[in-house]
């Protein structure tokens, strides 16, 4: 049956280690923090926004027109994406006269992107060594 659990996925006992379960439950972030984190990961799931963030990771700081040129997106789409990323504290803006320059908000965003890129690089390497191509 498609809707039922396989015998490997079903637990015979409802809880094996209640102390560990309680430890995990007590260290779980509050719902509001989970929602914010989910929103940030949702922002990272869009390919256009991810291209913008990787551009900022590589360059340090770019204006909207340069980000649009670097990612192949139009300036309107870039501006909209940057507003979302700014609202969620993923990027910051610096104004210089009439120009706005964007950068990653902090080292945590940089680390998150670096780890993600390292992970997919590692995943490709592992698949190649296993004889499979990505």
Closest to 93 measured CA to CA, from 58, 67, 128, 132? 67
- pLDDT tens digits, one per residue of 56-115: 999 999 999 999 999 999 999 999 999 999 999 999 999 999 999 999 999 999 999 999
Centre a 10 Å sphere on the Cβ of residue 20 and count the other Cβ atoms it contains: 10
- pLDDT tens digits, one per residue of 41-53: 999 999 999 999 9
Query: Are the C-beta atoms of residues 64 and 82 closer than 8 Å to each other?
Result: yes
Neighbouring-strand partners of residue 100: 95
Give the helix, strand, coil percentages of the chain, each rounded to 5.
60, 10, 30
Write the CATH number for 41: 1.10.10.10
48 in a structural domain:
yes
- pLDDT tens digits, one per residue of 77-93: 999 999 999 999 999 99
Q: Which two tokens stand for residue 92?
A: 């910051």
Calpha distance 97→133 (Å, rounded) = 49
11 in a structural domain:
no
5 in a structural domain:
no
Per the structure, the complete domain to which residue 80 belongs is given by 36-105
62 in a structural domain:
yes
First to last CA, the chain: 31
Number of domains making up the chain: 1
134 in a structural domain:
no
């Amino acid at each position: 049956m498609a809707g039922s659990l396989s015998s490997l996925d079903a637990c015979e006992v409802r809880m094996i280690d209640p102390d560990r379960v309680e430890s995990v439950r007590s260290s779980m972030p509050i719902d509001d923090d989970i929602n914010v984190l989910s929103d940030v990961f949702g922002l990272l799931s869009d390919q256009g926004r991810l291209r913008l963030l990787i551009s900022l990771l590589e360059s340090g700081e770019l204006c909207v027109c340069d980000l649009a040129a670097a990612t192949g997106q139009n300036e309107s789409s870039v501006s909209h994406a940057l507003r979302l990323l700014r609202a969620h504290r993923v990027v910051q803006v610096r104004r210089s006269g009439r120009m706005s320059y964007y950068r990653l908000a902090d080292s945590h965003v940089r680390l998150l992107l670096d780890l993600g890129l390292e992970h997919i690089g590692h995943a490709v390497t592992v698949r190649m060594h296993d004889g499979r191509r990505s």
